[in-house]
Amino acid sequence: MKNKKKQYSIIGIIVIVILLIFGIGHHIYKNGGLTAPKTVNLMSKGTRVWLGTEGGLQKDATVDYIDVAKNGKFIQYQVFDDDITLGKASKMSNSQLISLGKKQDKKYFDKSADEVRALRDHKDQIGLQDDLMGDDDLKNELNNGAMLVIEGTATQKSQDSTKETYSFNKLIPVDQYNSESKRIGAIKLKQHQSEVGKPSPVIDKKTEWDMVDSAVFDEDELNNNVPQRRETFDYIRNNRFNALLDNMKSVKYLAPKWQNLTFKSTTDDSGNKIISQKMNYKAIDEFNEDDVMNDNVFDLSNSQKQKIFKAKAASYEKGSYPELRSAFDKSYYKVVTKNVFKPHTFDDDMDLSSTVHQKIYDSTYIGYGTGNDMYLLTKAQNDNQRAVFNK
């Protein structure tokens, strides 16, 4: 019996030793050592959660990003909800913050469709998803449509008339239009100076919105104030946004990945003390840059292009709204809005300026200023720990 008790005691001691070894190892792995280091930075050993905030060094500051630095590697999660504050985050553990970051990043992607609907319906940005609402060029492109550069000819109808008939047959890229200034200038110089029965070249550069806006008023609109123009604007705009929303349904979530960081330091006049750093990393944007729609125009079928040419020619005549609505239908925008929503990585950077130290409730935060009332902060392991620049 005594031997059995002794045996159980030995087993218990072994189990306790194993647990202690595991716990100590986990602590070292997590924190980079048995004791908390006096200084930390984004390349420190161990795992640290960093919070990108805006709104000052206070408990009500909004958390925009939840970043994780782990033994020289870095991953960034975007935050969607605008009610996650530094005060709330201070009461959470690292594992809770990392779990929250993963959920928020997926939500940031999932709510992109709501952001498109908000723009379509003339509403304000929702949450912190600003990949669309924060991009004025992309917003203008979605509101006004693609830029169409169309070439064709104009022919004067008769000797005693200044009216011309138009025929269009070619789309050219905006970049080509901008680079061929000599050729384009020569066409414009002679534009609307055609001889009777002799076609002269014409070229026209307009957004879809401009094509409707510059169309000649029809008789009903002039005489009866029938709002066909406004209806055409709304019809085309709704087609554009709704086709984009349809295209978005097949787009897959792009999860952030672990990556390496690089830094470029700025020193004081002595060259010995680092006073700021630029941190370079890969970020994720849910929407593509503007000009995607301009490029997609060239993926249209020949029949779709012919409808554009017909609508453009008709816009010089009264009663062209049916042709414009036919050209800019759902099938047109199914092609033109493709890849407007396309999560992708891009090169980004962050300026790390003066180091900071701030108490929030029972937690002490240390880190860097990153802009006007913006900070990158991590929870200190004790009141004496400080953030320093990476060397």
SS3 category, 1: coil
First-to-last alpha carbon distance for the chain, in angstroms, is: 63
pLDDT at 319: 79
Which tokens sit at 177? Answer: 């239009």
Q: What are the start-end ranges of the H helices in the chain?
A: 2-31, 86-90, 94-110, 112-120, 136-144, 174-179, 181-190, 208-213, 219-224, 228-248, 292-296, 302-314, 321-327, 330-336
pLDDT at 164: 81
Strand partners, 259: 74
pLDDT at 31: 47
pLDDT tens digits, 290-333: 799 999 999 999 999 999 999 999 998 887 899 999 999 999 99
pLDDT at 29: 41
Q: Which of 387, 386, 275, 296 is nearest to 341 (CA)?
A: 296
Domain ranges of the chain: 2-27+44-110+353-387, 136-251+288-344
Whole-angstrom distance, CA of residue 389 vs CA of residue 1 = 63
pLDDT at 198: 79
pLDDT at 309: 97
CB atoms within 10 A of CB 314: 20
Question: Which pTM does this prediction carry?
Answer: 0.85
Find all residues with CB under 8 Å of 50, minimum gap 6, and list them.
Answer: 42, 66, 67, 68, 69, 367, 376, 377, 378
Whole-angstrom distance, CA of residue 340 vs CA of residue 250 = 12
pLDDT at 13: 58
SS3 category, 243: helix
pLDDT at 176: 93
pLDDT at 389: 96
pLDDT at 347: 97
Give the dihedral of Cα atoms 325, 330, 332, 337; nearest 10 deg.
120
- Site of tokens 């100076």: 193
Angle at 331 between CA 327 and CA 335, to 5 degrees: 105
Regions of the chain short of the pLDDT cut 70: 1-34, 158-162, 189-197, 221-226
